[in-house]
Amino acid sequence: TVTVMAAAGSCSWFPPLALGVSLLKCLFINAYHSTDFEVHRNWLAITHSLPVSRWYHENSSVWTLDYPPLFAWFQWSLSHVAQHFDSNMLRVENLDYVSPGAVLFQRLSVVFTDGVFIYGATECCRCVQEPKEQRDVLSRPSFVLAVLLLWNFGLLVVDHLHFQYNGFLFGFLLLSLAKHLQHRHLQGALLFSILLNLKHIYLYMAPAYGVYLLRSYCFTQDHRDGSVRWSSFSPLRLLALGAIVTSVCALSFGPFVAMVRTVLSRLSPLRGPLSRLLGPKLLVPVQRVHLKLLEEAELPRASMTGGLVQEFHHSVLPSVTPSVTLVCTLLSILPALLSLWGGPRGPRAFLRVLLICSLGSFLFGWHVHEKAVLLAILPLSILAVQNREDAGTFLVLTTTGHYSLFPLLFTPAEFPIKVLLMLMFTIYSFTALRKLHSGPGRLLRPLEYAYLLGLNAVAITCEVALPLSPWQQTLPFLPLLVTSVYCSVGVCHSFLLTQPSNDFTNIVTCELNTLMNVFIIFEEYGTLQLIIEICLFGRFS
C-alpha cells in the first residue's frame, strides 16, 4: 500500500490543538491526585539520593521501585530538575511528602514529558492517508486523529488527575507505530524496545511486534498467494533486529546485572492480585464479590496503585491461577497472530493484531489494571479514522473503556471534570467519525446504540443514585460491580469485532469458535460465582 503523506504545510492546526490541551492540563495542578503521586515522588527520592545498587533493594516505603531500569533512569534525570523546586521531596525518609513545590514540579513534569506524546501523535498524523478531494480542515482524517489522540479522555484523566506518566510512554509507542507505518522497521523496533524497558506492561504487545517483524521484515518476499517464501529469509535483518533489542536491554539492565533477580522479581506482575480495582475484565467477575476484595476496595487508595503483595483465595470455587490466565491470553491472541503470519503483511494488519493482543491480555491477563484499556484505545484511534468498521469498534470500545475509568476519580470536586471531559470527547468522537465516514450505512448497529445509551443509565445509577441511596451502606461496592460488569460486555464485544475478518482458512474460524466457548464458560463461571457470593456475603456490611 502506498502511504500518502500529509503535506507538512497543511498541519497548521496541530500546534493549537497541542498547546490547548497542554494549557488545560496545567489547570489541573491543584486537583486530586492518587497515591501514584507518592509512588513517583518516592522513586524520585530513591533514584536521587541512593546509589544505583540500592535502587531495587530500597523498601522503606511500601511503594517500591517496580518499573524497569530505564524508567528509573528517567526518574533519576527528573530528580535533577526537582531539586530546584523542593529538595525535601527527594529524601527517602520523607514518606507521604506533599508541598506546593512538589505538586507543581510533579504535575509540570507530566505536562512537559507529554511532549513525546505530542511528537508521536504528529508522526502518526503524517502517516494517515488523506482523501483525494480537498476537504474542510475539521473533517480531515489527520485532524480527527490528532484530536482523538491529544485530547484523549483516558490519558487526561489518568495522567493529569490520577497522576502517571502514560503520555510519555505512549509517545514512544506512537512513534514506534508511526515508524512501522513508514516502513522504517529498525527504528520502530528500537523505539519499542526502549518502551519495553520503560514499562513492561507493553510486553502484552510484544507478540504482535515479534510476529510482524519476523514475517514482514526478516522475510523479504512472498508467494503470489501471500504465503511466506521461506527462501527469502534474511539472516542479516534478523541479526540487526536482535542486536537492537539486546543492546537496548543491555544498556538498561547493565548497571543492575549483579542483582538482576531482584529486579525481575520486582517487575513480576505475580506479586499482585488477579485484578487491582474492579475493571471491565472478563476474569474479574470470577472473584469480584469476594469478601477480601471487598475489604481491599474499602481502601480505594491502596487498591489503585501497585506493589502491594495481595493474594486472594476463593472460598467457594477454585481460584484462577496465573498460569490459567496466561493460557487464556495466549489462546485469545493466537488466531490473530496466525492470521498475521499467513495473511496480508501491511502495517495496518499489524496494527490490528497489536490491538487484539492488548485487548486479549486486558480481558484475560493476570493483575491488569483498568487503565490498561488505553493500550487498545490509542492504537485503535489510528485505524478508526481510516476504516469504517474500525470506527464503529472504536466508538464502542472508547465509550465503555473510558467510562470504566470513572471509579478512578471518586472525589466529589473532580466529578464535574470527569463528566464534562468525557462528554466532550464522546460527542467529538461520534460526530467527527460519523462525518468522516459519511457514506451510506451506519457506524453502529442498533443494538450497540442501545448498549451505549444504556451506559447513561448506568452512569446515573452508579454515580448519583446509588451513592445517595441507603444501599450505599450495605452494598458499598455495588456501583463498582455494576460499572465493571456492564463495561466488560462492551469491551468483549469490541474484542470480537476486531478479530481479523478476512478469512484465513479454517483455523481462524475454529479458533474463534473455541474462543467463543471459552468466553461462554468464563461468563457462566463468573456469573455463577457472582450469584453464590452475593447470596453468601451480599448482606454483609
Partner 1 sequence: MQTWSLVSICVLLALVVRWGVSLNSYSVLLFLVCACVYVLSAGKHWISFPFIRLSDVSPGAGKPPMFGDYEAQRHWQEVTYNLPLQEWYFNTTENDLMYWGLDYPPLTAYHSLICAYVAKSINPEWVELHKSRGYESPKHKLFMRATVLVADLILFIPAVVLYCLYLTDGSSRKKVSTLFCFLLYPGLILIDYGHFQYNGVSLGLALWGVLALGLGWDALGSLAFCLALNYKQMELYHALPFFCYLLGKSVQLGLMGRGLFLLVRIASTVLGTFALCWLPFLSDPDHAMQVVRRIFPVARGLFEDKVANTWCSLNVLVKVRYILSSDSQIYLSLACTLLAVLPSCVRLLTKPTFWQFKLALANSSLAFFLFSYQVHEKSILLVALPVCLLLNDLPLVAIWFLHASTFSMMPLFLRDGLLVPYVVTSLAFLYFSIYLLSPLEHCSEDTLRLGVYRKLLFFLPKLDLAWIVRWKFYISVAATAGLSFVTVALVPPSHLPDLFPLLVTSTAFLQFLGTFIYLNIVQFSEPPSRKSNKKKK
Shortest gap between Cβ of 19 and partner 1 (angstroms)? 6
Shortest gap between Cβ of 111 and partner 1 (angstroms)? 11
Shortest gap between Cβ of 63 and partner 1 (angstroms)? 12
Shortest gap between Cβ of 435 and partner 1 (angstroms)? 6
Shortest gap between Cβ of 296 and partner 1 (angstroms)? 19
Shortest gap between Cβ of 1 and partner 1 (angstroms)? 28
Assess contact for 53 and 263: CB atoms under 8 A.
no
Distance between CA atoms of residues 5 and 292, nearest Å? 54
Nearer to partner 1, 152 or 358 (CB): 152
Q: Which of 124, 1, 166, 59 is nearest to 384 (CA)?
A: 124
Nearer to partner 1, 4 or 420 (CB): 420
Cα torsion angle, 517, 522, 528, 534, sign: negative
Nearer to partner 1, 34 or 197 (CB): 34
Assess contact for 341 and 228: CB atoms under 8 A.
yes
Q: Which of 515, 118, 536 is nearest to 338 (CA)?
A: 515
Q: Which residues bind partner 1 (CB under 8 A)?
A: 16, 19-20, 23-24, 26-32, 38, 94, 96-100, 103-104, 138-139, 412-413, 416-417, 420-421, 423-424, 427-428, 431-432, 435
Nearer to partner 1, 32 or 519 (CB): 32
Radius of gyration of the chain (CA): 23
What phi, psi does 275 have (nearest 5°)? Answer: -140, 150
Shortest gap between Cβ of 94 and partner 1 (angstroms)? 8
For the chain, helix, strand, coil in percent to 5 are 70, 0, 30
Assess contact for 373 and 363: CB atoms under 8 A.
no
Q: What are the beta bridge partners of residue 368?
A: 275
CB within 8 Å of 538: residues ≥ 6 apart: 289, 475
Nearer to partner 1, 435 or 445 (CB): 435
Shortest gap between Cβ of 349 and partner 1 (angstroms)? 30
Shortest gap between Cβ of 97 and partner 1 (angstroms)? 6
Shortest gap between Cβ of 301 and partner 1 (angstroms)? 8
Distance between CA atoms of residues 388 and 394, nearest Å? 10
Distance between CA atoms of residues 524 and 510, nearest Å? 21
What phi, psi does 219 have (nearest 5°)? Answer: -100, 120
Q: What are the beta bridge partners of residue 45?
A: none
Distance between CA atoms of residues 383 and 346, nearest Å? 13
Nearer to partner 1, 28 or 362 (CB): 28
Nearer to partner 1, 83 or 319 (CB): 83
- Report angle CA 161, 167, 170 to the nearest 5 degrees: 145
Distance between CA atoms of residues 304 and 411, nearest Å? 14
Query: Inter-axis angle of helices 374-384 and 166-181, to 10 degrees?
Result: 40
Question: Residue for cell digits 511500601?
Answer: 62
Distance between CA atoms of residues 271 and 511, nearest Å? 31
Distance between CA atoms of residues 212 and 4, nearest Å? 22
Nearer to partner 1, 138 or 507 (CB): 138
Nearer to partner 1, 51 or 439 (CB): 439
Assess contact for 432 and 424: CB atoms under 8 A.
no
Nearer to partner 1, 109 or 193 (CB): 109
Distance between CA atoms of residues 135 and 329, nearest Å? 42
Nearer to partner 1, 136 or 225 (CB): 136
Nearer to partner 1, 33 or 185 (CB): 33
Shortest gap between Cβ of 195 and partner 1 (angstroms)? 30
Distance between CA atoms of residues 338 and 319, nearest Å? 31
Nearer to partner 1, 32 or 112 (CB): 32
Question: Residue for cell digits 527462501?
Answer: 231
Q: Mark out the alpha helices in 365-445 (DSSP H runs).
A: 374-384, 388-403, 415-436
Shortest gap between Cβ of 308 and partner 1 (angstroms)? 16
E strand segments, 438-531: none
Shortest gap between Cβ of 519 and partner 1 (angstroms)? 36
